[in-house]
Amino acid sequence: MKKTLFTILLQPIAAVIASISPIIDQASNSQKLFFADFVNKLIFGYVYQVSSLRNLSLELKTNSMCRALGLDFTPFSTLKDGFSRFESKHFKQLFESVLAQTNLCRVPSLDEIGVFRVIDGSFFPTLLSMTWTSYRKTKNAFKWHLSFELNRMIPTEFWVGKGNSNERKFLERVLEAGITYIADRGYFSFALADKVMPAQAFFVFRGRDNLLYRVLEKSVIKHEELPACFKQVTDEIIIFTGDEKQNKVRLISFTVAGSYFRLMTNRFDLTTLKVIIIYAYRWQIELFFKFVKRTMDGIHLLNHSQNGVEIQFYVLMMVAILMLKLKQASQKLKKEAEKEAKKKAIAKAKSKEKSRNPSEWIKDIAKVFYKSWKISKNWLIAVKNSLAQVADYEILKMLNAF
């Protein structure tokens, strides 16, 4: 039997859903809405860019594509019940299986020097009735804390906290040995550094400008390897005056486009330029936040409970990974992506003439991500309109054009 595009999209998680669903249904005492059916309909909702749970129920009732995909009508009240009947931990289990079993393209130039994850958070304004997101007297919001892996350009873990939830606590929760974590200056503290180092993990953080320190050693910088847009570059081994543990830290300072940067890291093996590039790649998580909120319409919540919001974000992240898998499969670009990545190896700076403009330089070093990892709105629309069609060569060829 020929498979539809929707079947191909779900293929990486189909076996896992089939194996865990009966157990979850029994534990949840499900009689009208079953776990597998609920997951498939939520995935369809996000792929089809449905903005509300009522609209999803309406699509299931009136859209002929749903009937072709075997997604039968489910009333709004039954769908709503699913967000309280099923615990978010089951969706976490499903998401983790997607991470473990889905083979995606990697960035070889990053793999050569380690595994890199960007840590950041994004605000989601909420209704005043959502008391669990209590943030200010006249404003509610939650913060979506995310760990985003650069090597595969995918989310790996998240935590939903109140709008003023502690960003450093999230990083402490996800620490793994051997991983290099990248974050903006809101994350750095001596206490956090004291936890990262014993965990045998690494960091590249932007630091505040007012920290006092003493210099132990100055590194020789090959300025001819640096892009022309970077000025007053220094690379030093230092100890911060206020650090009780007196940890040795590498401090790289520079000015670009009129802004002053201090990057702190315990990666002593990387060149000055590599550390700067690694921090510049932090912007990829901001692009992912934009993708989730705008391109995938994730700013619209289908359910307002904390369990429901966690379910939504696990499904959103699964859809993002499944879409990426489908895109890369349709392109068959793994070899081409690796070839392209090697050409733009992280240690190689472009000519000074091309690097005078910082925005051009950042765009240039990020080109490695464009072809196999960028999902556009047009591509999503093409997938949406083709879900019920047989996933043959012509469909894959059509998707490859976007």
pLDDT of residue 102: 85
Does residue 27 contact residue 14 with C-beta atoms inside 8 Å? no
pLDDT of residue 347: 47
Report which of 277, 371, 380, 365 is spatially closest to residue 322, judged by C-alpha positions: 380
pLDDT of residue 337: 44
- Identify the segments of the chain with pLDDT beneath 70: 1, 333-356
Tell me the CA distances in angstroms from 326 to 216, 293, 384, one per residue in order: 50, 21, 13
Task: Show the beta-strand stretches assigned E in 127-189.
Answer: 134-136, 139-149, 154-162, 179-183
Hey, what amino acid is at 115? V
pLDDT of residue 360: 80
Q: Compute the mean pLDDT over every residue in the chain, rounded to the nearest whole number.
A: 89
Report which of 65, 77, 74 is spatially closest to residue 39, judged by C-alpha positions: 74
Alpha helices of 281-331 — where are they, by DSSP H?
A: 283-290, 306-331
User: What distance in Å separates the CA atoms of residue 230 and residue 356, rounded to the nearest whole number?
Assistant: 8
Q: What is the pTM of this model?
A: 0.90
Tell me the CA distances in angstroms from 223 to 116, 175, 252, one per residue in order: 26, 34, 13
Break the chain into its structural domains and give their ranges: 5-101+303-350+373-400
Residues listed for the chain? 402
Q: What is the pLDDT of residues 191-235, one digit of tens each?
A: 888 899 999 999 999 998 888 999 999 988 877 778 888 999 999
Q: What is the pLDDT of residues 256-289, one digit of tens each?
A: 988 999 999 999 999 999 999 999 999 999 999 9
pLDDT of residue 20: 94
Does residue 205 contact residue 227 with C-beta atoms inside 8 Å? no
Report the relative pairing of strands 179-183 and 249-256 from DSSP bridges: unpaired
Tell me the CA distances in angstroms from 262 to 175, 210, 215, 256, 317, one per residue in order: 23, 10, 14, 11, 32
Does residue 76 contact residue 295 with C-beta atoms inside 8 Å? no
Report the relative pairing of strands 115-126 and 179-183 from DSSP bridges: parallel
User: What distance in Å separates the CA atoms of residue 120 and residue 279, rounded to the nearest whole number?
Assistant: 13
Burial readout 350-374 (b: 16 or more C-beta within 10 A, e: otherwise): eeeeebeebeebbebbbebbeebbe
Does residue 120 contact residue 184 with C-beta atoms inside 8 Å? yes
Report the relative pairing of strands 213-218 and 202-206 from DSSP bridges: unpaired
Residue 214 sits at φ, ψ, to 5 deg, of: -120, 140
Question: If residue 118 lies in a helix (H) or strand (E), which one and from where to where?
Answer: strand 115-126
pLDDT of residue 353: 46
Burial environment of residue 241 by CB neighbours within 10 A (0 to 12, 13 to 18, 19 or more): exposed
User: What distance in Å separates the CA atoms of residue 384 and residue 225, rounded to the nearest whole number?
Assistant: 46
pLDDT of residue 208: 87
User: What distance in Å separates the CA atoms of residue 123 and residue 161, rounded to the nearest whole number?
Assistant: 10
Instruction: Name the DSSP letter for residue 296.
Output: S
pLDDT of residue 274: 94
